[in-house]
Chain A
Amino acid sequence: MVLDSEPRTAVDVTGETGTQSFQFQPQNALKAPAGPEVREEPGDVALRAEHVHAYYGQKLAVGDVSMEIYARKITALIGPSGCGKSTYIRCFNRMHEFTPHARVEGHIYLEGTDIYDPNVDATRVRQRIGMVFQKPNPFPTMSIEQNVAAGLRFTNIRNRSEIRDRVETALKQAALWDEVKGDLKKPGIALSGGQQQRLCIARAIAVEPEVVLMDEPCSALDPIATLKIEDLMYGLAERFTIVIVTHNLQQAARVSDWTGFMLAGEDGVGRLVEYRPTQDMFTNPREDRTEAYITGRFG
């Protein structure tokens, strides 16, 4: 088996060539419209999407979405089922292209580097932009500890004690440490659903990515497990930029700083309708369609 023998570091998505193209774009049309009611400071930009189009074969699923994701903020993506939220969020770590025949057009900048630049290695992008899935997906043949450390195999971290430290830190950040510290050798699937999802969060943050993407991370969980995850998200946001897809509006309102509302048009193409600080979005939506959605008139 041919393996990628050279350890990838979590420093540079372009690899050793170092041909980074720092293209700081003029930030005009991409920024959220700054109205008088904006109380949320945008702050640093962690990710900047420009004219992102996502296709499944010939079918355009997400059309021309541009937005900035702010560093160490929680950004929620809301919208009715099928509007392209999952498709869009998967563009941020190049998971969309993992689906057969799926492709992306447009640009997404991570610290000035376009992750869709042909020189960029998708596996490195995914080390810097982690993901938590809708259904908890721990690896059944691995112990709790091995699950959390799984992503470290692709880094140059080899030292056992360092791995153990990373596992412990990640489990603490995922609010799971106290529940599992005595059973690190137990299989990850022996945990409850909510614990499994927190294990998956620990697994995603153990490699210390800059961004954590979460696609409806609580939709398979009961309300108490959901609250636990919402709680730990505030802590995570101190260190990580978080993008969360949810079709639970209360959840978006509770946890997020910014909210993007997506909607599929008549043509079945999902587009970003409105993107604003969460409080504004929910108290004072600009678009009629947003208002209709958040007041429960459709979706």
Chain B
Amino acid sequence: MAGLAQERGRTSLVNRVRIGDWIFTALVSAAAAVVLLIIVGLFYELITRSWPAVTHNGIDFIWATEWNPPREVFNAGTFIVGTVVTSVAALVIATAIGVLVAIYLVEIAPPMVARPVSFMVELLAAIPSVVFGLWGVFVLGVFIRDDFGPRFVDVFGFIPFFDGTPLITGLLSAVLILATMILPTVMAVSRDVIAAVPRSQREGIVALGATRWEMIQLTVLPYARSGVLGAAILGLARAVGETLAVTLVIGNRVGIPHTIFDPAYTMASAIANQFTEVENDMHRASLLEVALLLLIITFLINVAARLLVWRVTGGQRVSVVE
């Protein structure tokens, strides 16, 4: 028998397979370990380097709003408010528009229209954020200052938050730019999730006498809701961390904004804007503390998101990445 195997150019399989197996296991384990190490290392570095600031600034850091490098008073309240307000507002706008566009693309538009529109919206995701930032300053910002802003204040200025002096940079510019930046993510994921709603679900409700809108309302959207939620969370994660474009358009002023036209600051833009020109060691450590906070917040968003999706789907896996 051995002679026959040799004759046919066959060698023993046992050793090779074992070795290949072992190498493969070692490789993927190593890769997993590296990822873990990077995360642990990142947290470790941030914690040790910001530790002087953590002890110096105390717990006030999270809600107080004074940020005064020369006096070595560092509190991140302004940045936190800026990040939360811009991200949530952008998320609401992007989700509303993204889901509507997704419904249009899947349920209404003929393929001849759906394909190019889809492609163009997805193209938005490929635009570098500096381009968004510059466009936000030179086009959107100017439009808000000269045309949109004054008219808007004339009409809606009596409502709190909607008055003030429109400038090129400010909260509104940041929100709109952020919304535009996360729109492709929300739209593309929602579109795929809506398109993945099984035909049997649509037919089930249509066979009961539903119109097209009733079908979308009663089966398509409820069926897709966990996926749409996932889409929104992907968008939120991007909005919270987005740095460059926001730094260019938000105005970078320490202080709680009182109207949608006021300049503001986010955690990410504060780090990007000040890190190259720190005034003292405590300033640097405090910026690292902001970074640590940003990391923790991002982490919490992810955990909360997973819990939310898990609750909505009743423990089933999310359909986002199917």
Residues of A that sit less than 8 Å from B by CB: 1-4, 8, 93, 95, 98, 123-124, 126-127, 130-131, 133, 135, 137-142, 150-151, 153-155, 187, 200, 203-204, 207
Q: Please report the C-alpha to C-alpha distance between residue A243 and residue B222 in the assembled complex, in whole angstroms.
A: 31
Shortest beta-carbon distance from B313 to chain A in Å:
9
User: Inside 8 A of A137's CB, which chain B residues have their CB?
Assistant: 198, 200-201, 203-204
Q: Please report the C-alpha to C-alpha distance between residue A253 and residue B279 in the assembled complex, in whole angstroms.
A: 91
Q: Please report the C-alpha to C-alpha distance between residue A141 and residue B220 in the assembled complex, in whole angstroms.
A: 10
Question: Quick one: which of A4, A135, A141, A187 has the most chain B CB within 10 A?
Answer: A141
A4→B222 contact, CB < 8 A: no
16 contacts between A and B (CB under 8 A): A3-B213, A4-B213, A4-B214, A93-B207, A98-B203, A123-B209, A126-B208, A130-B207, A131-B207, A137-B203, A138-B204, A141-B222, A150-B205, A150-B218, A151-B208, A204-B208
Q: Considering only CB atoms and an 8 Å cut-off, how many residues of chain B contact the other chain?
A: 22
Q: Please report the C-alpha to C-alpha distance between residue A123 and residue B213 in the assembled complex, in whole angstroms.
A: 12
A200→B209 contact, CB < 8 A: no
Residue from B202, B209, B225 in contact with A151 in the complex, judged by beta carbons closer than 8 Å:
B209
A8→B209 contact, CB < 8 A: yes
Q: Counting CB contacts under 8 A, is B95 at the interface?
A: no
Nearest A residue (CB) for B222: A141
Interface string of B62-89 (1 = CB under 8 A from A): 0000000000000000000000000000
B210→A133 contact, CB < 8 A: no
User: Inside 8 A of B207's CB, which chain A residues have their CB?
Assistant: 93, 95, 126, 130-131, 133, 204
A133→B203 contact, CB < 8 A: yes
A123→B211 contact, CB < 8 A: yes
A133→B200 contact, CB < 8 A: yes
Residues of B that sit less than 8 Å from A by CB: 198, 200-211, 213-214, 217-219, 222-223, 225, 314
Q: Please report the C-alpha to C-alpha distance between residue A65 and residue B168 in the assembled complex, in whole angstroms.
A: 70
Shortest beta-carbon distance from B185 to chain A in Å:
24
B203→A4 contact, CB < 8 A: no
B208→A130 contact, CB < 8 A: yes
16 further interface pairs, Cβ-Cβ under 8 Å (given A1-B217, A123-B210, A139-B222):
A1-B213, A4-B214, A98-B202, A123-B206, A123-B209, A126-B209, A127-B209, A138-B204, A150-B205, A150-B208, A155-B209, A200-B204, A203-B204, A204-B207, A204-B208, A207-B208
User: Inside 8 A of B203's CB, which chain A residues have their CB?
Assistant: 95, 98, 133, 137
A139→B217 contact, CB < 8 A: no
Shortest beta-carbon distance from B38 to chain A in Å:
39
Q: Known: A4-B214, A137-B200, A154-B214. Contact between A95 and B209, CB under 8 A?
A: no
Nearest B residue (CB) for A125: B209
User: Inside 8 A of A127's CB, which chain B residues have their CB?
Assistant: 208-209
A4→B208 contact, CB < 8 A: no
User: Inside 8 A of B314's CB, which chain A residues have their CB?
Assistant: 187
Q: Please report the C-alpha to C-alpha distance between residue A93 and residue B208 in the assembled complex, in whole angstroms.
A: 10
Residue from B205, B209, B214, B225 in contact with A139 in the complex, judged by beta carbons closer than 8 Å:
B205
Give the 6 A-B residue pairs with the shortest CB-CB distance, closest first. Answer: A151-B208, A127-B209, A141-B222, A137-B200, A131-B207, A137-B204
B208→A141 contact, CB < 8 A: no
User: Inside 8 A of A204's CB, which chain B residues have their CB?
Assistant: 207-208
Q: Known: A139-B201, A140-B223, A141-B223. Contact between A203 and B206, CB under 8 A?
A: no
Question: Quick one: which of B198, B214, B217 has the most chain A CB within 10 A?
Answer: B214
A203→B208 contact, CB < 8 A: yes
Q: Please report the C-alpha to C-alpha distance between residue A127 and residue B207 in the assembled complex, in whole angstroms.
A: 8
Shortest beta-carbon distance from B188 to chain A in Å:
22
Question: Quick one: which of B205, B209, B213, B219 has the most chain A CB within 10 A?
Answer: B209
User: Inside 8 A of A155's CB, which chain B residues have their CB?
Assistant: 209
Nearest B residue (CB) for A127: B209
Shortest beta-carbon distance from A215 to chain B in Å:
10
User: Inside 8 A of B204's CB, which chain A residues have their CB?
Assistant: 133, 137-139, 200, 203
Q: Please report the C-alpha to C-alpha distance between residue A2 and residue B223 in the assembled complex, in whole angstroms.
A: 20
Q: Please report the C-alpha to C-alpha distance between residue A137 and residue B207 in the assembled complex, in whole angstroms.
A: 11
Shortest beta-carbon distance from A171 to chain B in Å:
16
Shortest beta-carbon distance from A186 to chain B in Å:
11
A4→B206 contact, CB < 8 A: no
Shortest beta-carbon distance from A27 to chain B in Å:
29
